[in-house]
Each structure stands twice: as C-alpha cells, then as structure tokens.
Structure 1
C-alpha cells in the first residue's frame, strides 16, 4: 500500500530526510556528510549517487520499502524565477538544476534526488516554493540605477508555509488577506504578501536589516570607497557583506543567543547591536506596510531568531500599531515540503509545471 511521502532537504554538509503519513512525521533523520567525503566531488551535482545511496540505506534501516511511497518531494533549488507553488519535477527542471542556471547550491540536488527515487516507483516527485520564487511587482524591481535590478531572493518555503498556517488557524482564505512576514534567521527576509502573493522583499543577501552574519543594506558611497581603497580583494568584500557581517562583525559571534546573553549581562555594545538588529527589522516591516497601503491583517515573525523574547518584544513594541503581531518561531522545512504536496494531493492546489511558468530561450 502506498501511504508515505518522502521529503528530502539537501544542505551543504548534510541531507535531512523525513517520512510522513499524512501530516504525521513517522521517521526523520539528518544524514551527515563529512567534508572528507564531499571533497571527493568536483561539483555538487556529482554528489547525487553518494547522497542517494545514503537515503536508500536509511529507508532500509527504518524498515520502509520505496514501494510504500506515494510521492517524493525535494527542497527546490536555484531555478529560473517562478511563481510560488508546488511543482512537478520534470526533465526540463532537472536540466536547469544540473546546468546551475540560477547558481550552484546543495538544494539543487533536492529535486534530482526526489525524482531519482520516484521514477523507480512510477510515482510523482515535487518541489515546493524554492528560493527562486519571484512574484514581485514590476515597480518593486526598480533600483535607481538601470544597470542594477532589485531581485526576489527570500526564504520562500518558510514564508509561504506560515502564511498558509495563519490563514488556516484563523479560518481565512489566503487570497483575502494581507500579511507582512519576517523570516528571522542567519539571513532576514521581510516580505509583504498581498492576497497570498509576495509583491516585494528585501534581498536577504544584500539588503534589509543586519543579521547574525550579513550586513544588510549599507551606505553605498562608503562601500564604494572601501572597494577602491586597495585594502580589500573582491572576495574579502563579499565575505565582509555576507558571512562576516552583522553580529559577527560587531561582536565576533554569529550566535544570536550568545549576543543576547552578553547584552543581558551588561555588555553595552552587545545590547546596542542586538537592539539595532531589532530596530532595523522593525523599520523594514514599516516600509513594507506602505506597499500594502497600510492594509495589513497581521505581522508574522518566524525563523530561529523569533525564539528570542528580547528581539520579538522590541519588534512588537515598534510595529504593533500597524497590525497584530503573531509569533511562529522556528521553521520546519521538511514539514513545509510535505504540506505543499498534501495541498496538491488533497485538491487544495493544482500542481504547477516548471516549463509552463518560465521563458526558456536557450
């Protein structure tokens, strides 16, 4: 009997997997990949057989045959820009992931691994709300310099998952409400959702609030001076912006819990920087409220940093005049993947076809 959905989330040094029976998580595991093993492969795509075999071995260990799977779902990779939704994994999608049309990332393996297992069983493989989701209004793409266009890059999977959760818990239709959702993690995405569509977002890699490892938006003139000062290489500047920016640059740690504890224990600099992060998040929420003309049903704070009462209390105090603030701390990407497939299997949504949603000219 086919009853399980297998969810696969490849990361840089691990592959998270889970088996679901409906909404119930039956088994889950985080398969670690030692750097000594990964270094054997020139490209991420080359890791396919290695990771696939480990997933199959895990299924055998928990006593689950692939013949009991009714669908598989993988974390969506760096594809061409597409609307949100649950997508059937097709050969065209696989080709784009292997060609790295949107860049090389471990998540590119998600769809490929899901399809590899599904094809052997004659079942469907899906992805849900990949990082490539782009629903921005054209007016939001204008940057101020024609050479540069604002891009949609966001934590789409969790943002969309919590939007569905809010609508479900409040007996509302997602297409009838407006939300501002702030995903607070290693990177921070603040997105206004107008009747379910993400009409704008700060690019968490380059704009918006400072975060544990990223600078967020910077005074561009001073940044240009740094770039031409002769003190830094291109890669050094990139690392200062993403990887060693934000809390890391100011406090020497990317651990928000540590920064918060230092602030509580009298470290005035830690307190200032931690509160600056909350201040900047609140400003970004306020800015995004204008894109919805102030008609906001709720502000949702989610992601790992939303566990911090100090942070969320500050944000609530600065933004609750806009709309009620709802806390959905943490994220469960595997659960979000499963829920996306269930919405299709239960008839709540219709599966989308990748090649029907993108323009492929090459």
Structure 2
C-alpha cells in the first residue's frame, strides 16, 4: 500500500508517493504554472529517468489528473492500480478555530474549510480545489487534511491573543495561529531523538527558514509561541514578506499613496522582505550580490539575521533557562551557512556557541548535523524537515483509525532507529564526496 500526499498552492501542486510497508519514497514531483498559458510537470521516481513536460492545466483538476496518470505510467510510474493507494494526505494552510488536528475529508469538512478562506485567501482556495479534484479522481480512497496551524494549538492564551479589542477575537477569530506546523512538529520530535531525551522533556527553538520563515518555541515537547500570526505575514524578514512592522505604517502609506487594502496586502506579502530591500529573494543571489559590494543586499542579510537572533533570544526566556537546542531547518536553514552564522552571532549569551568550521562544512540536506562547539551548553542542530512524512503518517493513521492529536500520538520518526531511506542513499554519496560530514552527524552512522 502507498500513501499519496498533495500540497496544492495557488499555482502549483507538489506530490509524494510513499511505500508504507517498506518505509520508502517511491516518487516525488511538482506541477507548476497552474492556470497560466501553459503548465509544467517535474516527476522523479526511484530508479527511473526524470520526466519533464509542458501541458495545459487551467485548474488543479487537470494537474491532479496528470499526476495520477504519471503514477500509473508504464515507463515513469510507480503503481499499477489506483487501488494500491491506501490514503491521500492534503496539506491545508489554515484550520482557524474549527480544526485543531488532522481529520478525514467529508463534504462537511470541505464546507467548514470554505468558511476559513478569509483567514487565508491566497492559499485556502487552492488547498480546497486540490482536495475536491483528488476526491473526484479517487472517490473511494480515504483522504485527510493536515493543518499547518494544528501544531500550534498548545500555545497559552497570553501567546496567541493580540492586545486589540477582545471582540475582534470573539467575532472575527483574530488571534495568533502560527504556520509551518508540520515542519515544526517533525523537527521538535527529531530534536528529542538527537538529544537522547523524551519528547516531553525537550526544550528547543526551531527556525524554519525558507522563502517563508517562522520561529517556534517548544517547551516540554509542545509549542508555546511562534512568530507567525493570524496569517503567515508576521514575524521574520522573509523572501517577499515584511514580517514585523509598525502597524501605523499601513494607514500612513495608504494615505500618502492612495493604495487600496488589497494593494497594501500585495505589497507586504509579495513586494517586501528581501525583494523589497534588494530586489532578490533567493538567498544565493542575495549573498552573491552582497559579496560583490551591493549595499542593499548586505543590508537585507543583516536585517534577516538580526530579526532571527532577536526571536531566538526572546524565545529562550520563555523556556525558563532550560533551552536544549536551536534547530535550523527548511531550504535556507539547511543550506544557507551565512544565515546560520549571522543568526548565531551573540547567542553565546544564552549558552549557544556556533562552531564556524562545522557550520561551513554543513552544506547538505541529507543528514542531521550538530554545528555547535563541543563545549556549547545549548546545542545548535541542522535537521532537514520532512513535512510530507508527517502528512503521510497522519493520513495512514486516520485511514486506519489509530490517529490522535500529536501530544498523544507516536510517529515512526520518533524512534532513534528511524532511517529515511531516500536521504540515507543521498547521504552516503555525500559522505564519499565530503568525508568530513561524518564528523558532525548528530546521530553517527
């Protein structure tokens, strides 16, 4: 039996096929440019040639149909019959106050998700279209929603409430929800394994840094605060999002420029952050420009790292002086050595000392690494995230009737013996190219 996971964005659909019995990834892929003049698909299956093509995909319906055809394809596919798919897991941005944990999809669930669209207008319609398209293509297969916001439901009132009129919360659900929940969940539980502790005894700060970025404070194994808020706009300096700003800037700029509310929303979400500061969002491009003397690119890096450092330091105070580790994850957190270096400067004040050589060596997404000095009281770890595995396990458990909220549920990756076979294959290749990586593996192989 295999589990299919789908992550539908506004113009894309990422997917993964997981062999449950052998605990291995069979295929991954992405359809992009959905709804544009032409769409593209990139499909990678174990032991087979990669497949790239252009096609017409006006909606997510055509994208899902093509994904299914690819999975069944004689040359590039990984299954022979749709009956081999035991469940489908869908990533959903926002559960609002309605969904506090993963759930099986029903007509009622979809109607409830539609009511949450105002809290995530850029992402939720695409999430829902993907679910509806998959249900139509595979009507007999159990399907599950896995919420970005579910992990953060353990935050106390003083963390998730805003100091605004209370009726904004009671009437309009204005509160901090947090995002990147599946990533924070995975990394929190893997950090406990790396540290050799029980999840309930683990205190970590997780920095999920990609184009979107958020920090999460984890106390005794659960989330107690996070940097994103009602939407994914709050918090860190991101690829195209502003993160924290003085709220008075919004009416000030609207009055001075005549911008509408929609135009302001677009400016803060798509034209700010690194793009707004230096015209680039890819950290490699920003770093290259900075090294070539671009002052604004250097400013962007400095601002991103400073904001990260402020959140890490602030969240350390929420953990009662018992911080075990700082975790970097996601594309930038796992690969951008200069961002980790900048974010960790000065963290000696909270007992975290970065080993600059280890940090420089750590340029791999295939293993879990420790990049702190040997005498660092607080460990600094790089843990590649695996949101798809969280989705896979939730979907399987819901289909099997064994699912429970994450505080009561045990994932396979919470075991020290757990191995991601795909990453292990790639790690072995990297170790041949760079033997020094073995010296910073958090769990020696």
Question: Above 0.5 in TM-score?
Answer: yes
Summarize the alignment of residues 144-223 of structure 1 with structure 2, pairs less than 5 Å apart: 144-146=163-165, 149-203=174-228, 205-223=232-250
The equivalent of 1:326 in structure 2 is: 381
Tell me the matched-pair count. 341
Give the Cα separation in 1 of the matches to 2:98 and 2:204: 21
> Shift of residue 100 of structure 1?
4.6
- Residue 294 (structure 2) pairs with residue 240 (structure 1): no
User: In the alignment, what sits opposite 2:4?
Assistant: 6
Taking structure 1 as reference, are residues 250 and 230 closer, same or farther at Cα in structure 2, changes over 3 Å only? closer
Matching residue of 1:27: 27
Aligned to 1:215, the other structure's residue is in SS state: coil
Q: What corresponds to 1:359 in structure 2?
A: none
* CA 1:196–1:125: 2 relative to 1, 3 Å: farther
- Report the TM-score, using the length of structure 1 for normalisation: 0.82
Structure-2 change in CA distance of 1:128 and 1:346 (3 Å): same
Structure 2, gaps ≥5 residues long: 40-57, 169-173, 351-377, 406-445
Moved more, 259-268 or 163-172: 163-172
Aligned pairs (5 A) from 1:78-97: 78-81=94-97, 85-97=101-113
Q: 1:120 aligns with which of 129, 140, 144?
A: 140
Distance 1:63 1:150 in 2: 43
Distance 1:350 1:311, change over 3 A: same
Quote the offset at 1:106 in angstroms.
1.6
Match of 1:143, SS state, is coil
Q: CA deviation at 1:271?
A: 1.5
Distance 1:115 1:220, change over 3 A: same
Cα pair 2:147 2:181 within 8 Å, conserved: yes
Task: State the SS of the aligned residue for 2:262.
Answer: helix
Q: Secondary structure at the match of 2:311?
A: helix
Q: Which residue of 1 aligns with 2:89?
A: 73
CA distance in 2 between partners of 1:173 and 1:333 (Å): 21
Q: In the alignment, which residue of structure 1 is the partner of 2:65?
A: 53
The answer to whether the Cα contact below 8 Å between 2:206 and 2:217 also exists between their aligned partners in 1 is yes
Work out whether residues 8 and 14 of structure 2, in 8 Å CA contact, stay in contact via their aligned partners in 1: yes
Identify the residue that residue 107 of structure 1 maps to in structure 2.
Answer: 127
Worse-matched range after superposition: 84-93 or 278-287: 84-93
Contact 2:103/2:398, CA 8 A, preserved across alignment = no
Distance, in Å, in 2 between the alignment partners of 1:296 and 1:28 is: 36
Contact 1:114 1:126 in 2 (8 A): no
Paired position in structure 2 for 1:304: 331
Q: Identify if the C-alpha distance between structure 1 residues 279 and 197 changes in structure 2 by more than 3 Å, giving closer, same or farther.
A: same
Determine helix, strand or coil for the equivalent of 2:225: coil
- Tell me, in whole angstroms, the C-alpha distance in 2 between the residues paired with 1:129 and 1:36: 27
Structure 1 pair 82/336, CA: closer, same or farther in 2 (3 Å)?
Answer: same
For residues 153 and 105 of structure 1, the distance between their equivalents in structure 2, rounded to whole angstroms, comes to 19
Q: Is the 8 A contact 2:60 2:130 kept in 1?
A: no
Structure 1 residues 239 and 48, CA gap change in structure 2 (3 angstroms): closer
Structure 1 residues 110 and 177, CA, compared in 2 at 3 Å: closer, same or farther?
farther
The corresponding residue for 2:441 is none
Contact 1:190–1:284 (8 Å) recurs in 2? yes
Contact 1:8 1:18 in 2 (8 A): yes
- Shift, 1:345, TM fit: 8.0
Match of 1:286 among 310, 313, 335: 313
Which consecutive unaligned segments of at least 5 residues does structure 1 have?
A: 40-45, 353-362
How far does the alpha carbon of each residue in 1:116-153 deviate from its partner, in whole angstroms, 9 at most, with x for none?
A: 566424xx322334346542210113433226544213
Would you say the 8 A contact 1:179–1:194 is kept in 2? yes
Tell me which residue corresponds to 2:282: 255
Structure 2 contact 186–386 (Cα < 8 Å) conserved: no
CA distance, structure 2, for counterparts of residue 88 and residue 33 of structure 1: 29
Q: Secondary structure at the match of 1:209?
A: coil
Aligned to 1:355: none
Separation (CA, whole Å) in 1 of partners of 2:251 and 2:137 = 48
Q: Which residue matches 2:48?
A: none
Deviates more, 1:111-120 or 1:180-189: 111-120
Q: What does residue 317 of structure 1 align with?
A: 345
SS at match of 1:152: coil
1:284: Cα distance to partner?
1.0
Between the aligned partners of 1:57 and 1:47, the Cα distance in structure 2 is 16
CA contact (8 A) 1:80 1:132 kept: no
Instruction: For residues 302-336 of structure 1, give each alpha carbon's deviation from its aligned partner in whole angstroms, at most 9, with x where no partner exists.
Output: 1222111111012122335433221125x444334
- Check 1:294–1:108 CA distance in 2 against 1; reply closer, same or farther (3 A cut): farther
Q: Give SS of 1:105's match.
A: helix
CA distance in 1, matches of 2:2, 2:34: 29
Q: Secondary structure at the match of 2:13?
A: strand
Deviations 1:59-87 (A, max 9, x none): 22115211112222111243333676543
